[in-house]
Amino acid sequence: MHDKGTVAVIGGCGHVGLPLAIVAATHGFETSIVDVNAAAVALVRSGEMPFVEEGADPLLKAALASGRLTATTDAAVVSKADIVVLVIGTPIDEHLTPRPSVILQALAQYRPHFRDGQVLVLRSTVYPGVSAKVQRFFEQEHLDVAVTFCPERIAQGHAIVELASLPQIVSAFSARGLAAAKAFFASFAKSVVVLEPLEAELAKLYSNTYRYVQFATANQFYTIATTYGADYHRIHAAMTHDYPRLAAMPRPGLAAGPCLFKDTMQLSAFSKDQFSLGLAAVWVNEGLPRFLVDQVAKRCELASATVGILGMAFKAETDDIRDSLSYKLKKLLQLEAQRTLCHDPFVRDASFTPLPELIRESDAIVLATPHRAYRDLAIPSDKIVIDVWGIHGSPRAGKQVMS
Ligand SMILES: NC(=O)c1ccc[n+]([C@@H]2O[C@H](COP(=O)([O-])OP(=O)(O)OC[C@H]3O[C@@H](n4cnc5c(N)ncnc54)[C@H](O)[C@@H]3O)[C@@H](O)[C@H]2O)c1
């Protein structure tokens, strides 16, 4: 069925690509996922999501059953698509330097399958200027592929809802590309906002970096208050109570995952490493696990203590452990504590400890991920609890402030 056109999503089994492919198929596009991860392709074909994504399971099954969604490792499907979405990972290297070459290498790999008249939607988060390089790549190959850059801004795990509810930023190097990108995203999104490609690249990096800096602010406030024995969660509740100017102020917590740190470093590299605010945020956010270890050490003899970590995923209600600071916390504890135990209700790992056993065995418990399952957990009062997110336990003092 060619209702609205054909779409191929390169990287379509990933956290960004798969929800987008499902949504495109649901809205009438004949959609092919192409991914190098054969195991993920097999899982998707069988109707199973490879990761936790709110609301995705029934839509995936329905899209497969409708025949509008297929998944393959065969790059040749790209040649059948009117719109090719490229949404592979864009990591930084071991020196925290961006690697824009991954995008150009992927394009070289798919070069035999591109043809005149197609539209490329670059959806990965890229180092500024990469879209222009992609445009030059097709010019040099004498291929009439209209290049667009349309960044993804979903909160991971909520893409199905947010693809429809968030405005989509689109940019392009030609009127044909812009018209096609606008039409594609307008078919399921709330609205479309147009920028120039460099502006759109910066808008994406600024969005993530701004969040990262906000989290760092919350984390630094938390460490200052805690160092002086004050309850930051009480302070936060009081500051934000009926005070609109601080309504969006985040709570403290381990700020991690595959995007925020990486994109802050991409912006730092683009600013010729003059991004002092971003680098300060890295220092604060990456330093929080050490601060939490020190909080445990202040209250017990670490060398003879068992410390339990609740939550290994980088964010609540997901199974995604990519760049999770829970693992940094674990490594730091393993240097000093007698034993370190880990638990996560979403992450499968044979080395983890069942929850009742972790609570029983631990002298101290660090709530590292604010999964709902931990909120009302009964933890005996003789255990030390480090609750950086302020989600657990004794009545939050903020309630007293507001009463
Ligand atoms: N995860 C998020 O919440 C999020 C949000 C906004 C933007 N982004 C950006 O989107 C991009 C993708 O992130 P992600 O989290 O989906 O990554 P991911 O690792 O979950 O998915 C990438 C997918 O691409 C596949 N892949 C890699 N190389 C390929 C190739 N040459 N051909 C076909 N498939 C290939 C991988 O197998 C994987 O399935 C990154 O640039 C990221 O910064 C991510």
Whether 150 lines ligand 1, by a CB cut-off of 6 Å, is no
- The answer to whether the CB of 128 falls within 8 A of the CB of 270 is yes
CA–CA gap between residue 390 and residue 384 (Å, rounded): 14
Q: pTM of this prediction?
A: 0.94
CA–centroid distance, 85 to ligand 1, in Å, is 11
Full strand arrangement of the beta sheet holding 192-194: 69-72, 30-34, 6-10, 83-86, 119-122, 146-149, 168-172, 192-194
Going by their DSSP bridges, the two strands 192-194 and 306-310 should be labelled as unpaired
Q: What end-to-end distance do the CA atoms of the chain give, in Å?
A: 60
Whether 156 lines ligand 1, by a CB cut-off of 6 Å, is yes
Packing angle between helix 232-240 and helix 197-227, nearest 10 degrees?
130
CA–CA gap between residue 307 and residue 293 (Å, rounded): 10
CA–centroid distance, 114 to ligand 1, in Å, is 20
Full strand arrangement of the beta sheet holding 339-343: 339-343, 306-310, 364-367, 384-386
| 98 strand-pairing partners | 92
Helix (H/G/I), strand (E/B), else coil: 120 = strand
User: Of the residues 13, 15, 205, 262, which should be mutated to test ligand 1's pocket, given the most ligand atoms within 8 Å of the CB?
Assistant: 15
CA–CA gap between residue 154 and residue 152 (Å, rounded): 6
**Identity at 358, one-letter amino acid code:** L
Instruction: Please list the pLDDT of the chain residue by residue as tens digits (403 residues).
Output: 446 899 999 999 999 999 999 999 999 999 999 999 999 999 999 999 999 999 999 999 999 999 999 999 999 999 999 999 999 999 999 999 999 999 999 999 999 999 999 999 999 999 999 999 999 999 999 999 999 999 999 999 999 999 999 999 999 999 999 999 999 999 999 999 999 999 999 999 999 999 999 999 999 999 999 999 999 999 999 999 999 999 999 999 999 999 999 999 999 999 999 999 999 999 999 999 999 999 999 999 999 999 999 999 999 999 999 999 999 999 999 999 999 999 999 999 999 999 999 999 999 999 999 999 999 999 999 999 999 999 986 444 333 444 4
What are 244's two structure tokens? Answer: 């609109």
